[in-house]
């Protein structure tokens, strides 16, 4: 059962972050002070936030759709996290939209308090000769203080990165943990391996085109290292960082350990077992069933969760990273596609080949996250453990979806990307933050 948080005080503690973490380009504001622990495993109160259209940095200027499109992008990012409830900024009776952005027009918190806003984000921008400059400020309505102020400059084509970076810093101020917008996600689309980012509009190819089905199970590891399986004639190859490190029998669902070791299912003459690919010859480390595949490492690298049929039906088992007998942690029925959370507290998996669920590594806390919406497969945790990417057929075709780690806010990851999208893997690397 989902654990309900009875109350969530608006301000639980004051945490003084180093000023140099936020100071930039002469912008000044009071020290960020709101640290609000949020447990995404349960039900909680969300924070009402308003993001009005951005204003010109210089009087009389107009920057067209940028002034509305960029705040909408920021709103979409925040909505995706599950922490925030978006308010219509037009409901505020604020007298001057420039308030809070310029010294001569101080912000008036009263109109925002009247519509129930906990936070307001204000932005001002300038576009000149292909370069975009944006100032963004976060205001805490309850305390009447400015919590964050940043100035960014980049090219017009990279303006989305500004929104992703500010999203990450806003989450750091509000929750004590930075966001993961801009972190990488690898997946298969038809005849290619593709790469996208959380907060991107599209994806770019990592491999060239080969016959459909030639690539399988791409994954990302420390340092954004890549690995996938490729069919080569009658043989199978394990490709790591663009180079073949094994060629022979069928390799299934590789995964990186925190130290960079690759584990995968490897077919033998009579069974498929988990093997480590550390040298010329793979080292088989499990012998418990006829089929053992899909390894995923614990955050400290000491244990592996994997799929085994040793109990008669496929289930999620855990063993030492050096191998040995495993113990089943998933409930009865077929369970596949495990992914261990970077926080260490949960393993996401697929039950009955259709729904994403989570369970604790000791077998407690079983929770179903999807249901009644097509086939939902291959979950993968974000590098902070607060979100999950998976592929789903709920829209009539296979697409990547993303959701909060409690199953909330399920939505397409890159809805504008038209090709099929399967087998996602989220990088363990956190994006940079200013």
Summarised one tens digit per residue, pLDDT across range 327-368 is 999 998 999 999 999 999 999 999 999 999 999 999 999 999
- Higher pLDDT, residue 65 or 224: 224
State mean pLDDT over 106-130.
Answer: 95
Q: For residue 133, is pLDDT > 80?
A: yes
Average pLDDT of the chain to the nearest whole number: 88
State mean pLDDT over 140-150.
Answer: 96
Q: For residue 175, is pLDDT > 50?
A: yes
Q: For residue 313, is pLDDT > 50?
A: yes
Please state, in angstroms and rounded to a whole number, the distance separating the CA atoms of residues 389 and 380: 5
- Confidence at 30, pLDDT banded by 50, 70, 90: very low
Q: For residue 6, is pLDDT > 50?
A: no
Q: For residue 16, is pLDDT > 60?
A: no
Q: Which helix (H) or strand (E) holds 77?
A: helix 66-81
Q: For residue 300, is pLDDT > 70?
A: yes
The pLDDT score that the predictor gives to residue 36 is 43
- Confidence at 5, pLDDT banded by 50, 70, 90: very low
> Distance between terminal CA atoms of the chain?
38
- Confidence at 304, pLDDT banded by 50, 70, 90: very high
Q: For residue 38, is pLDDT > 60?
A: no
Q: Which CATH architecture has domain 13-175?
A: 3-Layer(aba) Sandwich (3.40)
The pLDDT score that the predictor gives to residue 243 is 94
Which residue reads 């996290």 in tokens?
A: 81
Q: For residue 137, is pLDDT > 90?
A: yes
- Fold identical between 13-175 and 184-426? no
**CA quadruple 57, 73, 152, 196: dihedral sign:** negative
- Confidence at 284, pLDDT banded by 50, 70, 90: very high
- Confidence at 204, pLDDT banded by 50, 70, 90: very high
Q: For residue 111, is pLDDT > 90?
A: yes
Share of the chain above pLDDT 90, in %: 76
The pLDDT score that the predictor gives to residue 280 is 82
Q: For residue 418, is pLDDT > 80?
A: yes
Q: 88 with 104: CB under 8 angstroms?
A: no
Where exactly are the structural domains of the chain?
13-175, 184-426
Q: For residue 19, is pLDDT > 50?
A: no
The pLDDT score that the predictor gives to residue 25 is 31
Q: For residue 222, is pLDDT > 80?
A: yes
State mean pLDDT over 51-60.
Answer: 90
Q: Which helix (H) or strand (E) holds 113?
A: helix 110-114
Q: What is the pTM of this model?
A: 0.87
The strand pairing partners of 243, in sequence order, are 240
State mean pLDDT over 238-256.
Answer: 96
> Among 11-15, 105-109, 416-420, where is mean pLDDT lowest?
11-15
Share of the chain above pLDDT 70, in %: 90
Please state, in angstroms and rounded to a whole number, the distance separating the CA atoms of residues 310 and 327: 10
Please state, in angstroms and rounded to a whole number, the distance separating the CA atoms of residues 336 and 314: 7
The pLDDT score that the predictor gives to residue 151 is 95
The pLDDT score that the predictor gives to residue 291 is 95
State mean pLDDT over 107-114.
Answer: 97
Q: For residue 39, is pLDDT > 70?
A: no
Q: How many other β-carbons are positioned within 10 Å of the β-carbon of residue 21?
A: 13
Which residue reads 């009005």 in tokens?
A: 52
CATH fold of 184-426 reads Neuraminidase (2.120.10)
Please state, in angstroms and rounded to a whole number, the distance separating the CA atoms of residues 65 and 170: 23
The pLDDT score that the predictor gives to residue 8 is 28
Q: What is the pLDDT of residues 252-273, one digit of tens each?
A: 999 999 999 999 999 988 899 9
Q: For residue 198, is pLDDT > 60?
A: yes
Please state, in angstroms and rounded to a whole number, the distance separating the CA atoms of residues 53 and 58: 15
Q: How many other β-carbons are positioned within 10 Å of the β-carbon of residue 233?
A: 7
> Among 123-127, 322-326, 343-347, 396-400, where is mean pLDDT lowest?
322-326
């Amino acid at each position: 059962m989902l654990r309900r948080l009875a109350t969530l005080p608006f301000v639980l503690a004051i945490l003084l972050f180093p000023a140099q973490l936020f100071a930039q380009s002469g912008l000044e504001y009071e020290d960020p002070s709101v640290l609000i622990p949020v447990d995404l495993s349960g039900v909680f109160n969300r924070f009402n936030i308003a993001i009005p259209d951005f204003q010109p940095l210089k009087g009389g200027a107009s920057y067209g759709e940028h002034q509305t499109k960029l705040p909408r992008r920021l709103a979409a990012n925040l909505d995706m996290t599950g922490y925030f409830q978006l308010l219509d900024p037009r409901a505020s009776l604020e007298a001057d939209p420039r308030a809070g952005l310029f010294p001569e027009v101080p912000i008036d918190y009263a109109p925002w308090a009247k519509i129930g806003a906990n936070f307001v984000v204000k932005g001002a921008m300038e576009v000149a000769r292909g370069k975009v400059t944006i100032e963004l400020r976060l205001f805490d309505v309850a305390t009447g203080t400015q919590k964050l102020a940043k100035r960014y400059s980049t090219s017009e084509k990279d303006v989305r990165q500004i929104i992703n970076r500010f999203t990450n810093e806003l989450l750091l101020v509000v929750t004590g943990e930075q966001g993961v917008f801009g972190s990488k996600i690898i997946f298969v689309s038809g005849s290619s391996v593709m790469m996208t980012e959380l907060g991107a509009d599209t994806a770019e190819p990592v491999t060239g085109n080969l016959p459909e089905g030639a690539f399988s199970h791409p994954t990302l590891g420390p340092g954004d290292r890549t690995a996938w399986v490729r069919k080569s004639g009658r043989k199978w190859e394990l490709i790591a960082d663009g180079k073949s490190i094994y060629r022979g029998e069928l390799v299934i669902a590789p995964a990186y350990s925190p130290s960079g070791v690759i584990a995968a299912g490897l077919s033998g003459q009579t069974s498929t077992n988990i093997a480590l690919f550390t040298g010329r010859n793979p080292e088989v480390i499990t012998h418990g069933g006829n089929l053992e595949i899909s390894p995923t490492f614990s955050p400290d690298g000491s244990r592996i969760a994997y799929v085994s049929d040793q109990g008669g039906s496929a289930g999620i088992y855990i063993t030492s990273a050096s191998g040995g007998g495993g113990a089943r942690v998933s409930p009865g029925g077929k369970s596949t596609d495990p992914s261990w959370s970077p926080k260490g507290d949960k393993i996401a998996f697929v039950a009955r080949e259709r729904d994403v669920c989570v369970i604790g590594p000791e077998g407690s806390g079983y929770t179903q996250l999807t249901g009644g919406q097509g086939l939902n497969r291959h979950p993968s945790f974000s590098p902070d453990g607060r979100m999950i990417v998976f592929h789903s057929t709920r829209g009539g075709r296979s697409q990547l979806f993303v959701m909060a780690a409690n199953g909330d806010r399920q939505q397409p990851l890159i809805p504008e990307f038209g090709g099929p999208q399967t087998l996602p893997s989220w990088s363990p690397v956190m994006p940079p933050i200013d």
